[in-house]
Amino acid sequence: MNLFDAIAHRRSVRSFLDKTVEREKIVSIFSAVRLAPSARNAQEWRFILVTDPELREKVATAGGQPFLKQCPVIVVACAETDKRIMRCGEPAYPIDVAIAIDHLTLAATAMGLGTCWIGSFDPEPVKEVLQIPNEVPVVELVALGYPADTERPVADKHRLPLTEILWENQWRKPFSV
């Protein structure tokens, strides 16, 4: 699968087979993750893989989304960060962690695995269960496993047309080919 195929086929998977994700695949995925770019190459991302069934249940409960309970790996994406604000006024760490997660989801797709980003969760109980220090932000959870549902056609993706998101030389000035 080339990069454009992986981008087209990646989708949010919310139903997983009861099948272990091979550790070699996890190593391959995170070898792609660690190559992500980051502001000042700070690489502040840290990941905890939750594979233990009891812990998974607890993290899934904190996640508040029932499908997390049946996914074999919950990736808890954190940042060990000084929360630096870039000159543009935006914090670097959530952007850096998000890029790393995008590498994760695309690499997983290329290996036949499914993922789902989870931003709707309560970080405090997740921190407590996994003994994550208070000052460490938990940026996202990511469900990872073999999809149990069938893939939707790529054409079913609801996305804004290029004309609404891509302009040239001036705000809202159309880009034409």
Ligand X SMILES: Cc1cc2nc3c(=O)[nH]c(=O)nc-3n(C[C@H](O)[C@H](O)[C@H](O)COP(=O)(O)O)c2cc1C
Q: What's the closest the beta carbon of residue 78 comes to ligand X, in angstroms?
A: 15
What distance, in Å, lies between the first and last C-alpha atoms of the chain? 28
Residue 118 touching ligand X (CB under 6 A): yes
Report if residue 134 touches ligand X, rule: CB under 6 A.
Answer: no
Which parts of the chain fold into alpha helices (H)?
3-9, 23-33, 53-63, 92-110, 123-130, 162-165
Binding to ligand X by residue 103, rule CB under 6 A? no
Is there binding between residue 154 and ligand X (CB under 6 A)?
no
Core vs surface per residue 73-111: b (16+ CB within 10 A) or e: bbbbbbbebeeeeeeeeeebbbebbebbbebbbbbbbbb
Distance of alpha carbon 109 from alpha carbon 152, whole angstroms: 14
Q: Among residues 157, 166, 167, 175, which is the contact residue for ligand X, using CB under 6 A?
A: 157
- Is 117 an interacting residue with respect to ligand X (CB under 6 A)? yes
> Comparing C-alpha atoms, which of 130, 152, 119 is closest to residue 15?
152
Only segment of 10-18, 20-28, 83-91, 165-173 that touches ligand X (CB under 6 A): 10-18
**Binding range to ligand X, per CB under 6 A, among 44-52, 113-121, 123-131, 163-171:** 113-121
- Whichever of 12 and 163 has its CB closer to ligand X, that residue is 12
Residues of this chain that interact with ligand X (CB under 6 A) are 11-12, 14, 65, 116-120, 157
